[in-house]
């Protein structure tokens, strides 16, 4: 195997990203075929004069995104995925763009050693190089994701908005106010308010409210302020691999509001939407209130079961591929391609909710599903609730051109739901560069809290619990090995001032033999409070847990 990365000039791009981008493009274009064994870390390091850490980090990212797999005592192999009549080229930006920052990691906290500048442009791998390809030091595995695609849309149109269509969910956010009896609250929607840049936000808010800007007090653009849409488009292209223009972006006061808008874009012969099982109940409630039948699709190790999806009769699908809600898993590349191929064949639309996409702790952020889509079948959703503050109530969606045309012609009279003042303030905040600095700072902070959570769970509970979703987001999911129900365990926790949140509501039809499971959020707690809360929780749960699976 000949390896010829297109190295950029010194200092213009991290070497591990360039090596990763090279392999990614070779795999996507099938110049390296599925089932091919890749060269060992040692051989690439030796022949390209790179540090082992650089090579390991590139392989780690390929593993995380599902391009390759590590086989024990054998090495790294390109994953098998079905070739279809629908071709999906290597993204819309190309491998070199990815290496130079089209998928900028914005200060990812995973540490990387100093990288040696390669002396040559490539090398050829012989049999002696792949024979020892089992070197896996420093390269971990990630669980597969839990996600999927959609079905045909026979027509389009609008439906009258019911007065009571605003969905409510008791899991959409933490309880209002502070209960003095609650010592430790592990709600997954809490963020760190202590480190919010109050001074900078006040500065840009005051700038918006100057007398010469008095027009801001009037109604704004129904689609969202142009300045903010321009900043979001630039950010998405650079950091999430999303290919869009500002004209495709629609702002709204929360994900649930935008889901309602999407529902009004479709006239479906059968109002069926497929969703992950388990999945995000806040969105499920919106669909149900608008008369949609939910088709729960089971998950395998790589995400939604596509065969079950095809047989479901669903006409739309909602998925969270970058951080599955609630398991936290990441959908690998092969499954993403299969879903895109299916959507293109069937004329389906996929709603991709990039839930917690900004915060990853062991790899750089995974490119979006929308960025891989060449047939305009993906609707991308994003929010500032986790990366900034929930109270700002600011979300956005990227519409494919066909749906954007319907939105412009049929929903023109719907007023903007997000605050114009907040939109203009956020636009200035992003344009100044403070937004990305804030993301870098918060990623470092949340990484420490994430580490404290995992360490505390391991130290105090050991094998009596199972932890998933460890690589991203502001929460982890914990299964407790117990004969009690999740609600019973939650009541025991509440008796000592600890509030935990069962995942029961995430299921439409939860299996009777499933273990009690909880989402443990850590964003709004200090590292010290996390450890203290987990320590106390272990004391109260200790009589009800075992170290073995129940029968």
- Residue 81's pLDDT is what? 67
Q: Which residue has the higher pLDDT, 181 or 382?
A: 382
427 vs 54: which has the higher pLDDT: 427
Which CATH number is associated with domain 2-130? 1.10.10.10
H-only helix segments in 80-161: 94-97, 127-130
Cβ neighbours for 378, distance < 8 A, ≥ 6 positions apart: 340, 343, 349, 350, 352, 369, 370, 400
Of 48-62, 144-158, 257-271, 419-433, the poorest mean pLDDT is in: 144-158
Residue 153 has pLDDT above 50, yes or no: no
Q: 436-544: which CATH topology? A: 3.90.1150
The residue extents of the domains of the chain are 2-130, 436-544
157 or 336, higher pLDDT: 336
CB count within 10 Å of CB 48 equals: 23
Q: Which of 16-30, 158-172, 185-199, 477-491 has the lowest mean pLDDT?
A: 158-172
Given a cut of 70, whether residue 101 has pLDDT beyond it is no
pLDDT-derived band at 83 (thresholds 50, 70, 90) equals: low
- From first CA to last CA, the distance across the chain in angstroms is 49
pLDDT at 457 over 90: yes
C-alpha to C-alpha distances, 404 to 265, 379, 476, nearest whole angstrom: 9, 10, 36
Contact between 274 and 314 under an 8 Å Cβ cutoff? The reply is yes
Cis peptide bond prior to 278, omega within 30° of 0:
yes
Mean pLDDT of the chain: 81
Q: What are the CA-CA distances from residue 321 to residues 81, 380, 463, 520 (Å)?
A: 17, 11, 28, 20
Average pLDDT over residues 178-182: 73
Provide the pLDDT for residue 161. Answer: 33
Half-sphere exposure of 83 (CA within 13 A, CB side): 7
Calculate mean pLDDT across residues 207-214.
87
Stated as kind and residue range, the H or E segment containing 307 is helix 306-311
pLDDT band at 448 (very low <50, low <70, confident <90, very high): very high
What tokens does 76 get? 């790294």
Cα separation, 397 vs 148, whole angstroms: 18
The predicted-structure confidence for 271-289, as pLDDT tens digits, reads as follows: 889 999 999 999 999 999 9
Max CA pair span of the chain: 73
In this predicted model, which residue has the larger pLDDT, 10 or 480?
480
pLDDT at site 307: 86
Residue 17 CB partners (closer than 8 Å, separation 6+): 58, 98, 99, 105, 364
Identical fold between 2-130 and 436-544 = no
pTM recorded for the entire structure: 0.74
Q: What is the pLDDT of residue 125?
A: 52
Q: What pLDDT is stored for residue 207 in this prediction?
A: 93
pLDDT band for 172, please (50, 70, 90 cuts). Answer: very low
HSE toward the beta carbon, residue 91, CA cutoff 13 A: 27
Element (H, E) at 395: strand 395-398
What value, to the nearest 5°, has the Cα angle with vertex 149 and ends 255 and 245?
55
DSSP per-residue string spanning 205-229: HHHHTSGGGGGGGS---TT--HHHH
Query: Is residue 122 pLDDT above 60, yes or no?
Result: no
pLDDT > 90 fraction of the chain, expressed in percent and rounded: 45
């Amino acid at each position: 195997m000949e390896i010829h990365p297109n190295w950029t000039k010194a200092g213009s791009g991290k070497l591990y990203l360039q090596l990763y981008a090279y392999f990614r493009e070779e795999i996507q274009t099938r110049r390296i075929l599925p089932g091919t064994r890749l060269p060992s870390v040692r051989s690439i390091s030796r022949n390209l004069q790179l540090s082992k850490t650089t090579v390991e980090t590139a392989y780690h990212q390929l593993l995380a995104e599902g391009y390759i797999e590590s086989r024990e005592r054998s090495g790294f192999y390109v994953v098998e995925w079905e070739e279809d009549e629908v071709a999906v080229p290597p993204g819309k930006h190309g491998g070199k763009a990815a290496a130079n920052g089209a998928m900028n990691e914005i200060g990812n906290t995973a540490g990387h050693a100093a990288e040696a500048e390669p002396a040559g442009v490539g090398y050829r791998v012989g049999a002696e190089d792949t024979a020892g390809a089992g070197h896996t030091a420093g390269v971990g595995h990630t669980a597969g994701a839990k996600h999927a695609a959609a079905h045909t849309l026979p027509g389009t149109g609008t439906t009258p908005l019911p007065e009571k269509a605003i969905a409510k969910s008791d899991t959409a956010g933490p309880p209002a106010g502070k209960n003095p009896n609650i010592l430790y609250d592990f709600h997954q929607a809490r963020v760190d308010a202590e480190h919010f840049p109050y001074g900078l936000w006040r500065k840009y808010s005051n700038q918006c409210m100057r007398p010469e800007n008095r027009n801001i007090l009037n109604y704004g653009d129904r689609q969202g302020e142009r300045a903010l849409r321009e900043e979001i488009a630039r950010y998405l292209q650079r950091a999430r691999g999303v290919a869009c223009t500002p004209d495709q972006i629609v702002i709204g006061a929360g994900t649930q509001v935008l889901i309602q808008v999407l529902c009004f874009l479709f006239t479906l012969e059968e109002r069926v939407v497929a969703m992950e099982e388990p999945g995000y109940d806040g969105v499920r409630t919106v669909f149900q209130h608008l008369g949609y039948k939910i088709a729960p699709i089971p998950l395998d190790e790589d995400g939604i079961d596509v065969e079950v999806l095809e047989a479901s009769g669903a006409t739309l699908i909602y998925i969270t591929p970058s951080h599955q809600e609630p398991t936290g898993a990441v959908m690998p590349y092969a499954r993403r391609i299969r879903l895109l191929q299916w959507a293109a064949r069937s004329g389906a639309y996929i709603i991709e909710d990039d839930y917690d996409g900004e915060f990853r702790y062991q790899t750089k952020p995974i490119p979006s599903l929308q960025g891989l889509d060449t047939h305009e079948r993906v609707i991308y959703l994003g929010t500032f609730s986790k990366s900034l503050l929930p109270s700002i109530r600011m979300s956005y969606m990227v519409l494919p051109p066909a749906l954007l045309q319907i939105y412009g012609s049929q929903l023109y009279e719907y007023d903007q739901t997000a605050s114009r003042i907040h939109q203009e303030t956020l636009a200035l905040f992003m344009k100044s560069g403070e937004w990305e600095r804030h993301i870098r700072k918060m990623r470092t902070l949340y990484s420490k809290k994430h580490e404290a959570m995992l360490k505390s769970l391991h130290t105090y509970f050991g094998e009596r619990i199972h932890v998933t979703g460890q690589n991203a987001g502001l929460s982890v999911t914990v299964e407790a090995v117990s004969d009690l129900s999740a609600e019973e365990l939650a009541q025991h926790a509440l008796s000592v001032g600890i509030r935990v949140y069962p995942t029961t509501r995430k299921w439409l039809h939860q299996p009777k033999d499933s273990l009690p499971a909880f989402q443990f959020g850590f964003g709004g707690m200090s590292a010290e409070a996390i450890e203290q809360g987990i320590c106390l929780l272990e004391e109260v749960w200790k009589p009800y847990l075992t170290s073995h699976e129940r029968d």
